[in-house]
A and B are shown apart, each in its own frame.
Chain A
Amino acid sequence: MIALYVVIGVVVVLAIILFMQYNSLVRQRNQVQNSWSQIDVQLKRRHDLIPNLIETVKGYMKHERETLESVTNARTSAVEAGGRGVGQQAKAEGELSGMLTRFFAVAENYPDLKANQNFLALQEELTSTENKIGFARQFYNDSVLNLNNKVQQFPSNIVAGMFGFKVGEFFELEAPAEREVPKVSFT
């Protein structure tokens, strides 16, 4: 009799551990998905803001056609890269970020532009969207790290294997140089 109780007890404990591990894995996976949609929202917002920006600065920056065109091109390829997987999209968006920082560095040379309220508002919006993308990426990568730890570490890897949980993909920017924010000198 006692042996039976012991067996039942062990089974119940194992079942509880299984439930808890499974729920924890589902929670982590949902967080990864949710934080990815956060990045997506911000990337879309950036795509929407750029045409306005180009429209606003066109009159002021007549001699910078090349810069403006490269921003527009980078935007187009970033929009096209959407839905082609995390790695591809990260690459295109990373290039767009680089183009934008270069563009704002160039814009510093136009005092008239810096007095334009519309431009200042757009600059604030784009800078902030840039930050939001960065923070959303940070949160996404943290979530992926947590999920991956769960999927690969013992004992949760057993549960993950049983129910087909997969490791997530990190959102990495391509070149390490792009991670640095350029210093703009005013002297």
Chain B
Amino acid sequence: MWEQIRANKIKSVWVIVGMGVLLLGFGYLIGELFFESGIAGIVLASIVWLIMNLVAFFQGDQVFLSVSKAKKLERSDHPKLFNTVEEMTIASGLPKMPDIYIIDEPAPNAFAMGRDPNKAAIAVTSGLLQRLNRDELQGVIAHEIGHIKNRDVLLMVISGITMGAIVLLADFALIYLILGGAGGGRRSSSSGGGGQGQIIILIVGIAFIILAPIIARLLYFAMSRKREYLADASSALYTRYPEGLASALEKISSSTNVLKSANRVTAPMYIVNPLHKPGLKASDLSSTHPPTSERIRILRSMGSSASFADYNRIYSEVHKGGGGVIPQSALAGAAGLVETRGASAEEARPEKIEKLERTREVSDLVEKLNDYTALACKCGAKFKVPTDFKGKSIKCPRCGTVNHIPGR
């Protein structure tokens, strides 16, 4: 089953080549229409694509993490989260443990970053840590590690950029077409006769300008959904406990909090679409994620077997006659019998007490990361003060003593 990564590498290259051909063909057409030279269009398309890729390649992770307001964690900050990631690193056979980031937001969610498994990162929100128990957290982390292991991040970044370049070029072309209506006249004068052929090319060109971005988007979204299923299957394989991820997905999707730091560009990276509107039809074609209810149903139907082959079989059952979702190459080498395991001992603890402990743990962590000052008043009251109060004085809410907070 570990052969699948190699198979995926080859497959990813083909998808990207396909999208690249679409981009170049589109560039050629635009060039023909506006500069009367297809080569110029190809050059333009390549330059746009290259610049966007370079920016993403050298700055992408950092920009993405800072846009999401993620803070890096050390082992001592949250040993349990660190251990969970380490466990899944071992289970997946990743060469190096990813860095861990936390986003201080009540909405539970998580995402993976990094083009290269050696330089990967996983970010989770504080809401996720508060809400999930160990088994569920493990399922989510395994899903993210699955993304890293299957090289989804690289694939999604490059194909996302290619899609972006096509959309960008189409937007320019449309504006050019609307503003420069005289362009057509200039063109017909230079090429002399053959007016009718010109018009046909123009119509085909305009149709392509409108259609290409839509096709690119649908390709991109369809691929994104496939990768989510594959990461779910990987999670079940690594943890041998599909119920953990299923119940985590249930908790995440039932949350009413909205993730503030997510936007359209970053949305496909999260475990559950952070922008999903309740009114939207679940199996929307323009969605980056498969419907959560369906992902849960597949995971729950896995019963006592956790191999890729089983996931694939159940997927085909849910999508009547729709074929599988795991690449054949991955199935060929897959082990026959993969048993699931039972829940870990923590499951038995009362959920309420456990949640209280987790909430305290996470709020301590967030306060520590935000550099809060711990203050003890004479009367015995203890409180934590945000950084803005450093060097100022506050009155103790219990006894009224004025306490001075040491400056930086």
Task: List A residues at the B interface (Cβ < 8 Å).
Answer: 31, 35, 38, 42, 104, 121, 124-125, 127-128, 131-132, 134-136, 138-139, 142-143, 145-146, 149, 179-186
Contact across chains for B238 and A135 when beta carbons are under 8 A apart: yes
User: What separation, in Å, do the CA atoms of A102 and B93 have in the docked complex?
Assistant: 30
Residues A184 and B348 in contact, CB atoms below 8 Å apart: yes
Stretch at the interface among B45-53, B59-67, B79-87, B98-106: B79-87
**Cβ A135 vs Cβ B83 within 8 A:** no
B13 within 8 Å of A (CB atoms): no
Q: Tell yes or no: B350 within 8 A of A by CB.
A: yes
Q: B189 on the interface (CB 8 Å rule)?
A: no
Given contacts A31-B2, A142-B335, contact A121 B90 (CB under 8 A): no
Q: A181-B343, A182-B345 are in contact. Are A142 and B90 (CB under 8 A)?
A: no
Question: Mind listing 12 A-B residue pairs with CB under 8 Å?
Answer: A38-B90, A127-B344, A127-B345, A128-B80, A128-B87, A135-B88, A142-B2, A146-B2, A184-B345, A184-B348, A186-B348, A186-B349
A185 CB contact (under 8 Å) in B91, B93, B348: B348
Q: How far is the CA of A186 from the CA of B341 in the complex (A)?
A: 22
A183 to chain B, nearest CB (A): 5
Which residues of A lie under 8 Å from residue B83 when comparing CB positions?
Answer: 124-125, 128, 131-132
B345→A183 contact, CB < 8 A: yes
Complex CA gap A146/B330 in Å reads 13
- Please give the distance in Å from A45's CB to the nearest CB on chain B: 11
> How far in angstroms is the closest Cβ of chain A from B79?
6
Which residues on the A side are within 8 Å of B92 (C-beta)?
139
Residues of B within 8 A of A (CB): 1-3, 79-80, 83-84, 86-88, 90-93, 238, 240, 333, 335, 341-345, 348-350
B2 contacts which chain A residues (CB < 8 A)?
A: 31, 142-143, 146
Q: Check if A124 sits within 8 Å of B86, measured CB to CB.
A: no
> Which chain B positions have C-beta within 8 A of A149?
333
Flag if B90 contacts A181 (CB, 8 Å).
no
A-B contact sample (11 more), CB < 8 A, given A127-B344, A142-B1: A124-B79, A127-B345, A131-B87, A135-B90, A136-B91, A139-B93, A179-B341, A182-B345, A183-B345, A185-B348, A186-B350
Instruction: Name B91's contact: one of A128, A139, A145 (CB within 8 Å).
Output: A139
B327 CB → nearest A CB, Å: 17
Whether A181 pairs with B86 at a CB distance below 8 angstroms is no
Chain B proximity of A68: nearest CB distance (Å): 20
Contacts of A143 in B (CB 8 A): 2, 93
The residue in chain B whose Cβ has the minimal distance to the Cβ of A139 is B93
A63 to chain B, nearest CB (A): 23
Residues of chain A with a CB closer than 8 A to B343's CB: 181
Closest partner residue, chain A, to B344 (CB atom) = A181
B1→A136 contact, CB < 8 A? no
- In Å, the complex CA distance between A124 and B88 comes to 16
A31 touches which of B79, B80, B93, B341 (Cβ 8 Å): B93
B344 proximity list for chain A (CB < 8 A): 127, 131, 181
Going nearest first, the 7 A-B pairs with the smallest beta carbon separation are: A128-B83, A135-B91, A135-B90, A131-B87, A136-B90, A139-B93, A184-B348
A139 touches B79 (CB 8 A): no
Cα A140 to Cα B348 in complex, Å, equals 29
Q: What chain A residues lie within 8 Å of B88 (beta carbons)?
A: 135
Closest to B92 in A: A139
- B80, B93, B341: the one contacting A35 at CB < 8 Å is B93
